[in-house]
């Protein structure tokens, strides 16, 4: 992996004991849409809504301020470049999903594109994500790593148009990644926090196994550019007139999800002193024909947290 993998300071450990065999949705974390506007979708008109933040930090401050732009781009996230990416960060702040938008339509589009509706808990995910109260917009801003947000220099407000289909279409084309968090399907008690953290990631590992099986059943597997790191899949072409159809998309998925032994270095904005990122699975989808209502390249994150008492 590239030296910058996962923000250049993470390292990976695989669990050495039995994983949970199933997973559940971590409903507290919501289903998150990361919106990083490209500047070509201005908010116009009078029917505009200023979204309310989730209140995880001061209104003027980002919720997440520790993501180097070079690090996240090194993981394959499609984000704009700056003159020197090492000197920039991706800042994120979580906001409510607009009540005027169709949450079920927005979420089903994503779940179907990544085949998550076919999971054993696919119906449960769809039902959960069909309610706007269970969704969040992770509003992203790329700025200097030295940037200091304050009451005099606040984090930008999130303004959205309520009933403009063209604005909503461009919005989703500026969502480079989505985040869903899961927990192990079975609860266990541990005396050691490191073992507890490792086990908390087993829901991610269980979901990885299930998703991989779906891709192997529904799609055509092929060898991509980094076969040692990823499995690659594409839509199987139908043969007509001796000519196979060209695939319209490619999906790649990590061969092994991240399970972090240095979870104490990965605080989460929900409670930075007690909540930490323990596991992460990355799934990538690239649109070949460019006809999707999603961005041309998107990443679906499946994450897990350890919550200390």
d(CA 121, CA 157): 35
Q: Residue 25's closest CA among 260, 295, 302?
A: 302
Structural domains in the chain (count) = 1
Q: What is the mean pLDDT of residues 59-71?
A: 97
Residue 182 has pLDDT above 70, yes or no: yes
> Which has more confidence, 296 or 51?
51
Contacts by residues 270-274 (CB-CB < 8 Å, ≥ 24 positions apart): 270/28, 270/29, 270/56, 270/305, 271/307, 274/307, 274/308, 274/309
**pTM for the model:** 0.89
Q: How far apart are CA 3 and CA 80, in angstroms?
A: 20
Q: What is the pLDDT of residue 2?
A: 39
More confident residue, 73 or 14: 73
Q: What percent of the chain has pLDDT over 90?
A: 77
Q: Is residue 78 part of a domain?
A: yes
Reply yes or no on whether the pLDDT at 14 is more than 60: no
Q: Is the pLDDT of residue 1 over 70?
A: no
Burial status of residue 150 (CB atoms within 10 A of its CB: 0-12, 13-18, 19 or more): exposed
| pLDDT band for position 274 (cuts 50, 70, 90) | very high
The CA R_g of the chain, rounded to the nearest whole Å, is 19
Asked if residue 18 is part of any domain, the answer here is no
Residue-range definition of the domain harbouring residue 54 = 23-307
Mean pLDDT over residues 285-294, rounded? 74
Residue 12 in any domain: the answer is no
Looking up tokens 């999603």 gives 294
What are the angstrom distances between the C-alpha of 156 and each of 52, 61, 62, 131?
12, 9, 9, 26
pLDDT by residue (tens digit) across 77-122? 999 999 999 999 999 999 999 999 999 999 999 999 999 999 999 9
pLDDT band at 10 (very low <50, low <70, confident <90, very high): very low
pLDDT at 186 over 60: yes
Is residue 143 assigned to a domain? Answer: yes
Pick the closest to residue 201 from 254, 255, 261, 253 (CA basis). 261
What is the H or E stretch that residue 203 is in? helix 202-218
With respect to residue 267, please indicate whether it lies within any of the assigned structural domains. yes
178 inside domain = yes
Counting DSSP H helices and E strands in the chain, the numbers are: 6, 15
306 bridge partner residues:
276
Q: Is residue 6 part of a domain?
A: no
**Is the pLDDT at 185 greater than 60, yes or no?**
yes
Burial of residue 142 (CB within 10 Å: 0-12, 13-18, 19+) is middle
User: Is residue 123 over pLDDT 50?
Assistant: yes
The answer to the question of residue 216 being in a domain is: yes
Which residues is 118 bridged to in the sheet? none
* pLDDT score recorded for residue 47: 87
pLDDT category at 306 given cuts 50, 70, 90 is very high
Residue 4, pLDDT > 50, answer: no
């Amino acid at each position: 992996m590239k030296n910058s993998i996962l923000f250049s300071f993470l390292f990976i450990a695989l669990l050495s004991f039995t994983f949970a065999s199933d997973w559940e949705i971590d409903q507290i974390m919501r289903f998150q849409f990361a919106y990083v506007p490209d500047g070509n979708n201005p908010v116009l008109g009078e029917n505009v809504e200023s979204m309310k933040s989730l209140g995880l930090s001061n209104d003027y401050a980002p919720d997440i301020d520790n993501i180097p732009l070079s690090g996240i781009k090194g993981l394959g996230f499609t984000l704009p470049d700056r003159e020197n990416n090492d000197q920039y960060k991706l800042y994120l702040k979580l906001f409510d999903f607009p009540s005027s938008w169709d949450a079920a339509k927005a979420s089903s589009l994503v779940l179907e594109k990544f085949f998550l509706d076919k999971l054993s808990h696919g119906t449960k995910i769809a039902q959960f994500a069909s309610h706007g109260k269970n969704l969040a917009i992770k509003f992203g801003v790329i700025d200097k790593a030295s940037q200091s947000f304050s009451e005099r220099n606040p984090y930008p407000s999130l303004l959205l148009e309520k009933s403009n289909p063209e604005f909503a279409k461009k919005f989703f084309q500026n969502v480079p990644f989505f985040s869903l968090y899961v927990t192990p399907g079975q609860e266990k008690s541990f005396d050691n926090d490191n073992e507890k953290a490792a086990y908390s990631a087993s829901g991610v590992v269980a979901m990885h196994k299930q998703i991989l099986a779906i891709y192997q059943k529904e799609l055509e597997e092929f060898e991509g550019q980094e076969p040692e790191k990823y499995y690659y899949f594409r839509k199987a072409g139908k043969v007509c007139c001796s000519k196979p159809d060209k695939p319209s998309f490619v999906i790649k998925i990590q061969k092994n999800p991240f399970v972090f032994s240095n979870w104490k270095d990965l605080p989460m904005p929900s409670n930075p002193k007690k909540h930490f990122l323990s596991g992460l699975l990355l799934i990538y989808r690239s649109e070949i024909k460019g006809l999707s209502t999603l961005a041309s390249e998107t990443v679906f994150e499946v994450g897990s947290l350890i919550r200390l008492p």
